[in-house]
Chain A
Amino acid sequence: MSGRRIFARPARFAAIAPYVWMVLFFLVPFAFVLKISLSQTAIAQPPYEPVFDLTAGWEAVKTALAALSIDNFRLLISDEIYAFAYVRSLTVAVTATVLLLLIGYPIAYGMARLPKRWQAVAMVLVIVPFWTSFLIRIYAWINILQHDGLLNQILLALHLVSQPVVWLSTDSAMYIGIVYSYLPFMILPLYATLAKMEPALEEAAGDLGAPPWQVFWLVTFPLSLPGVGAGVLLCFIPIVGEFVIPDLLAGSNALMIGQTLWLEFFTNKDWPVASAAAIVLLVVLLVPLLLYERLQKRQLEQGR
């Protein structure tokens, strides 16, 4: 016991370098986002008007605070494009997460029921695509989904369609891309809880006469809920801010918030509005983020 306490002190010193790094490059940048979101748009380089200058002392800070404007946030509320983008982001994220759960669950379940040796193999097989560049995986789907791509060639050869179907630049292409990219994030937490589950519980339910679907619905699924929660949050949060997949695979008619932020920043060069959009996105995601953190803490404690 005393040994552990001796160990604890140098360990605390280990925190210094990463702590300073994270404050400098994670926390401080947010202060800048917040500051610029409250600034006036200016046509200049860099394109925003600074609201305060710390070198000028406290008086300057006071006048600056008086000059802060919430115009950018007001614009976000009043402009239909933004409201639409937030709604669209949430709809896409909910739909994709439900799809991921429906597709990922049977796969995770199949993995958990394999013999122990094969479980390890299956796990590696699921993780490897996650290590492969995600841009490459999206590009692979462009190859398949384009007008004269493999999917249309197969459908035509099988006489399932009489002329090529438009896949690219549709919502279905975007959902295929999102499901494909995030599938490992859904499978792994699901598999982790399903593999830990006592098979005797399912067998007992079966012995007592429950048909397989009832065994699943009344025993397996409720016991796997922690994994479902982790998988859902792990997919839902990043999908809301997704930018590349909708940009490459979906049509340009309905933009998600990640895309509007990107456009506002790089094309319109309206940094304050982009910053305000980022803040609102963060606030929207704060609830699932906190939920995720709590879930992870609980799982860490259970793991011990």
Chain B
Amino acid sequence: MRKLSRLSRFNIASLALGLAFLYLPILILVIYSFNASRLVTVWGGWSLRWYHEFFNDRAMIEAAWMSLRVAVSSATIATLLGTLAAVALSRGERFGGRTLFSGMLYAPLVMPEVITGLSLLLLFVALNAERGFWTVTIAHTTLTMCFVAVVVQSRLGSLDRSLEEAAMDLGCDPVRAFVAVTLPLIAPAIVAGWMLAFTLSLDDLVIASFTTGPGSATLPIRIYSEVRLGVKPEINAICTLVIVLIAVVIVVASLASKLSSSQGESAAPL
């Protein structure tokens, strides 16, 4: 017993240090976004000055708006396609080219973004497509639908298939059984998938840089070009706003999934 308790003190220490390592930099950034001083590292008292500066920066606001539009539309298309892909993979048994299909869905998860971005740009150039909102949206959809597919597929895999079979024994056709029984049960995963796609799109710099055209930069592209030129306190404010936005999205998502998973649990014993 003694040995175990000494071990657990080591556990707690490493856990605490690890979490501190993960959170302190973000916390410091948020605190410094309220710094009145122009020098990023000298504390000049609390102030909303840099938030003010951001809301008066037309180019930044435009980039943020572009990012939001791309994130919402690509996440929505990706959720539709990703859910379909997950259904096909977990319920479709065998079909022609299934291995190729799942391979294509898994590869973008780990492939370096430079390759994905480069290949899509070459496609768009070959098609003579005008680069901007739609090309970035298509690129982000391609990347994020793979994440949606993985999230939804794991939820589908843990579902009890007898529920669907029961619905069909009671006279539902497969499509109706899916809509009435399966869809409500996987809804939390679909919501989580959308949120993940949304944040991934909002976050992406590399693929967006390759696929966007002149005059339609996303927020990460603007932030990146500013950061390369040196640290600007305004960036702290923008970053804090993005963190708050993502935090809101996570809270909404977890509430939604808690709500429907408690429904799912009460439905399961039936």
Judged by a CB distance under 8 angstroms, whether A221 is at the interface is no
Say yes or no: is B72 at the interface (Cβ < 8 Å to chain A).
no
**Partner-binding segment picked from B2-10, B44-52, B53-61, B261-269:** B2-10
Contact B18 A107 (CB under 8 A): yes
Chain B residues with CB below 8 A from A292, complex form: 106, 110
CB distance from A204 to the nearest CB of B (A): 13
The answer to whether B250 has its CB under 8 Å from any CB of chain A is yes
B175 surroundings in chain A (CB, below 8 A): 10
Contact with B along A134-177 (1 / 0, CB 8 A): 11110111111010111001000000000000000000000000
B12 to chain A: which residues have CB within 8 Å? 110
Contacts of A148 in B (CB 8 A): 39, 41-42
| In the assembled complex, A57 has its CB within 8 A of some CB on chain B | no
Chain A residues with CB under 8 A of B202: 133
Q: Mark B16-36, 1 if CB is under 8 A from A, else 0.
A: 011101110110110010000
Interface pair A4/B161, CB less than 8 Å apart: yes
Cα distance, A303 to B154, chains bound together (Å): 9
Say whether B203 contacts A248, CB under 8 Å.
no
Residues of B within 8 A of A149 (CB): 41
Main secondary structure of the interface of B (DSSP, over half): helix
Given the known inter-chain contacts A12-B95, A136-B242, please indicate yes or no for A113 contacting B88, CB distance below 8 A: no
Contact B87 A248 (CB under 8 A): no
CB distance A212 to B123 under 8 Å?
Answer: no
Chain B, Cβ-Cβ closest to A124: B254
A184-B23 Cα distance, complex, nearest whole Å: 12
Q: Is the CB of B112 within 8 A of A146?
A: no
Please count how many residues in chain A sit with their CB below 8 Å of the partner chain's CB atoms. Answer: 96
A300: Cβ under 8 A from any B Cβ: yes
Once bound together, how far apart are the Cα atoms of A134 and B207, in whole Å?
14
Contact with B along A207-218 (1 / 0, CB 8 A): 000011000000
Question: CB distance A275 to B246 under 8 Å?
Answer: no
A15, B174: Cβ atoms closer than 8 Å: no
Report the minimum CB–CB distance from A46 to chain B (whole Å): 5
- From known contacts A18-B145, A136-B243, A150-B41, infer whether A289 and B123 are also in contact, taking CB-CB under 8 Å: no
Chain A residues numbered 41-99 whose CB sits less than 8 Å from any CB in chain B: 46
Q: Are A212 and B28 in contact (CB under 8 A)?
A: no
User: Cβ of B174 and Cβ of A212 under 8 Å apart?
Assistant: no
The size class of the interface chain B forms with chain A is: 35 or more
In the complex, the answer to whether B165 meets A139 with C-beta atoms within 8 Å is: no
- B108 interface hit (Cβ, 8 Å): yes
Are A15 and B25 within 8 A (Cβ)? no
**Do the beta carbons of A32 and B15 come within 8 Å of each other?**
no
Which residue of A14, A109, A146, A293 contacts B11 across the interface (Cβ within 8 Å)? A109
Q: Are B105 and A22 in contact (CB under 8 A)?
A: yes
The reply to whether B85 and A18 contact each other, CB–CB distance below 8 Å, is yes
Residue in A closest to B39 when the chains form the complex, CB atoms? A148
Check A278 against B115 for contact (C-beta < 8 Å): yes
* Residues in B whose Cβ lies below 8 Å from that of A26: 104, 107-108, 119, 142
Q: Hey, which chain B residues are within 8 Å of A125, CB to CB?
A: 19, 22-23
Contact of A15 among B80, B84, B250 (CB under 8 A): B84
A254 in the interface (beta carbon within 8 A): no
CB of A223 closer than 8 Å to a CB of B: no
Which chain B residues numbered 50 to 98 have a C-beta less than 8 Å away from chain A?
Answer: 80-82, 84-85, 87-89, 91-93, 95, 97
Find out whether the CB atom of A243 lies under 8 angstroms from the CB atom of B108. Answer: no
Besides the known contacts A19-B97, A132-B243, 4 further A-B residue pairs in the complex with CB atoms under 8 A apart = A12-B93, A26-B108, A141-B25, A143-B28
In the A-B complex, the 4 residue pairs with the closest CB atoms: A241-B112, A15-B88, A29-B119, A110-B15
